[in-house]
Amino acid sequence: MNAVEAWERTLEAAGELTSEAADTIIDTHGDRGVTAIEAVGERRVKQYRDFTVVVGHSEEYVVEGNACRCADSRYNLDPDDPEQLCWHVVAAKVARRIDAVDHHDMWYSEVREFL
């Protein structure tokens, strides 16, 4: 079991973001983990009918599984290392496991038309 799987299991078992889980996330992901936890606390993880979206500081990022199209993922992270995740993916994983996702009963493409 890798570090990501370990903190995911801890969150699922607790149903909340415990200090132990937060410490493990930060130990594993550093500043990305801190930013992800802040985003979850600010309810910036949105679930639409078609996508999970994490609201960043200047853009919104579609997260699908362990994939994100942000610059950090494209240029700084090893896609073959399951522990290297951008903060958007970490935030989505945390929010799903502690039921902190902001659900919207609409298609994300409908939202994009307004932006």
pLDDT tens column, 14-59: 999 999 999 999 999 999 999 999 999 999 999 999 999 999 988 9
Instruction: HSE, CB side, 13 Å, CA atoms: give it for residue 101.
Output: 23
CA pair distance 87, 89, nearest whole angstrom: 5
- Predicted TM-score (pTM) of this structure: 0.93
Q: 32 and 40 in contact (C-beta within 8 Å)?
A: no
The residue ranges of every structural domain in the chain are 3-114
What's the burial of 77, exposed, middle or buried (CB within 10 Å: 0-12/13-18/19+)?
A: middle
How do beta strands 102-103 and 45-47 pair? parallel
